[in-house]
Structure 1
């Protein structure tokens, strides 16, 4: 194999694929990136056996071929080469080493044979649809923060995406929850998504996808099978296993009868929560919201370090009430909102609270209260 290509093109592709590779691997081949030179492009592929990313980049190919080299090492070398330089990759006749040459810099890397590299066979895809990148990014960003990190509840370790009926229309809905908070976001279902099965996309795949949907002009082609999802974003193909589990019936958690409405300026509210939570304990992070007509009093009381209170003018005309929340969860939700105001729909101190984005009627958040 002998290939010449622009450093910028190689670096961009390596940046996309090398992140999938775990730093510590018991299986040596999983530390490597597969390089396949064919036609007029170099294809790069990396996998952790659950997730696979492939990207092709333009290259001058003097001699076609394929090999695998350490992914993070190659990425670090190319990253440190000067801007605007060309890189030549060549494999010796035995196939045991690859030379990376650019200007006066020469590196020799150990290769492992292409035949050892695992393929994430996708099987038959039963559903295909297209989403624009901005919509995919919105579905992810509005829900990702609520993904559970508790490994025992593995079925919550991802975003649940499914088609549902809302106001007589079919929508594509993304939901994530960790049992303390729930985030739901939806968009009009694209052609092909109407009867799709409910799928749970793993947290790591969600993170990689979020980094890839940065160009609003590129559409995402989504293909689904019973156990895998494949997403094509321009020259990048991301294939991932899905979480094999049943997502809970989240509709039961969304309160319907919350009749006490509070509306407050979002930035003023988040800054105030951030300030008073400075004295909260790392473990508890509890902040109390005391509501009376037109007034919200935020307070934190930590026996070890002190207390804090702050008053805010709000729109509220129901009976006075007090309710406690985890300050970090409140801030996580508030940071997802795009409107200038945030609207809380409350029932009582022990019931879940509904939080709405005044600028996005298709996003919805539920937060469980804390005892304070």
Structure 2
């Protein structure tokens, strides 16, 4: 194996493939990045039996062949290289990498021991890459991070014709985002539970091209696979991941159809005020929000400890009420919203609030539902 390749193109491809490498691989070869050189160029790939990543890129290949090297080490080396072409060659049991006057020699692992990557499922449809990345970034805000509840660490993707819905919850909050996409079959109806971390990283990394192809397959016994394909710097990028098993909670009914109190607030003002007031909130305590007389009063702290109060303008329709929320969860939802103004809609103080944009436009249908926290007396 011997080839010459553009430094930036190779570095980008290595970073794409190495991003999903396991921190604690069950086998040493799973920490490897497979480099395959042929007359068609290079293929870089990683696979840990759950998530696979593959990058195709152009290169001047002198000798065909393959090598398996430490993926994280190669990624670190590539980021540090000067802006000159990279030359790599397999020399016995080691790989030689030269860039300008920098030279590295890397140990290899047995290629024969590396698992075969899963095949990309048949395409289900396409979606604008920038729209998808933004929608996913909003949806994953509410995804759980507790591995003891794996179902809640995923984002449920529901496809109904040309509408795609993204849902996530960690039991304390819920995100719902809809967007338009282009299905292969006009009347397509399918659902999948995708690991939120993989989905978020993949959507963010595939914004170089104009669109992303989504490929979904459901296997036997409820086990399935989802694949994403797009373009990166210098070539095609593909990734697949196994779907999460389990029943995602039926959360759509949590969004109420009517509201007794709705407050319209400037988003930036509310974000900055919550940040300031929360500075004196003790850990695991709520920031109080009192809505009345077209004002929103925020309070935190109690007793002999530090206290804070701040007032901002609000257009309030309906009854006055006082409630409280985890300040970080509230900020997560606020920062995920677009537009200048937001609506906070309540049925009553002890029930969840539904936060949405007032002026973000029809293209952004993101809703964030947040459970209240008990206020200290």
Deviations 1:271-315 (Å, cap 9, x if unpaired)?
Answer: 11111001011222x111111121111111244732111111110
CA contact (8 A) 1:7 1:86 kept: yes
Report how many residues are paired. 362
Structure 2 distance, partners of 1:121, 1:81, is: 32
Q: How far did 1:48 drift?
A: 2.3
**Which one of the candidate residues 106, 109, 112 is aligned to 1:109?**
106
CA contact (8 A) 2:158 2:164 kept: yes
Aligned to 2:270: 269
Aligned to 1:213: 206
- Name the SS of the counterpart of 1:20 in structure 2: coil
Structure 2 distance, partners of 1:245, 1:32, is: 30
User: Are 2:179 and 1:187 equivalent residues in the alignment?
Assistant: yes
Q: How far did 1:58 drift?
A: 1.1
Aligned to 1:88: 87
Deviations 1:220-276 (Å, cap 9, x if unpaired)?
Answer: 011100100111112100111111111111112112222211101111111111110
The change in CA–CA distance for 1:130 and 1:317 in structure 2 (over 3 A counts) is closer
User: Are 2:178 and 1:199 equivalent residues in the alignment?
Assistant: no
Deviations 1:345-367 (Å, cap 9, x if unpaired)?
Answer: 11112111111111145111111
CA contact (8 A) 2:127 2:180 kept: no
Superposed counterparts of 1:230-245, under 5 Å: 230-234=227-231, 235-245=236-246
Structure 2 distance, partners of 1:211, 1:367, is: 25
**Which one of the candidate residues 216, 222, 226 is aligned to 1:224?**
216
- Name the SS of the counterpart of 1:351 in structure 2: coil
Between 101-110 and 198-207, the greater mean CA deviation after superposition:
101-110
Q: How far did 1:173 drift?
A: 0.4
Deviations 1:192-224 (Å, cap 9, x if unpaired)?
Answer: 364242101102311321331333x42101110
Q: Which runs of 5+ in 2 are unaligned?
A: 219-223
Aligned to 1:280: 281
Q: Which runs of 5+ in 1 are unaligned?
A: none
Divergent runs of 4+, >4 A: none
Superposed counterparts of 1:1-372, under 5 Å: 1-83=1-83, 85-92=84-91, 94=92, 96-122=93-119, 125=122, 128-164=124-160, 171-192=163-184, 194-215=187-208, 217-226=209-218, 227-234=224-231, 235-284=236-285, 286-303=286-303, 305-358=305-358, 359-361=360-362, 362-372=365-375
Aligned to 2:221: none
CA contact (8 A) 2:162 2:182 kept: no
Structure 2 distance, partners of 1:342, 1:143, is: 17
CA contact (8 A) 1:140 1:174 kept: yes
Question: RMSD of the TM alignment (CA)?
Answer: 1.7
Deviations 1:312-342 (Å, cap 9, x if unpaired)?
Answer: 1110142221111111111111101111101
Structure 1 distance, partners of 2:28, 2:304, is: 49
CA contact (8 A) 2:25 2:48 kept: no
- Name the SS of the counterpart of 1:306 in structure 2: coil
After TM superposition, the score normalised by the length of structure 1 is: 0.93
CA contact (8 A) 2:284 2:326 kept: no
Between 186-195 and 339-348, the greater mean CA deviation after superposition:
186-195
Between 15-24 and 37-46, the greater mean CA deviation after superposition:
15-24
Structure 2 distance, partners of 1:124, 1:237, is: 11
Structure 1 distance, partners of 2:191, 2:178, is: 14
Structure 2 distance, partners of 1:304, 1:9, is: 59
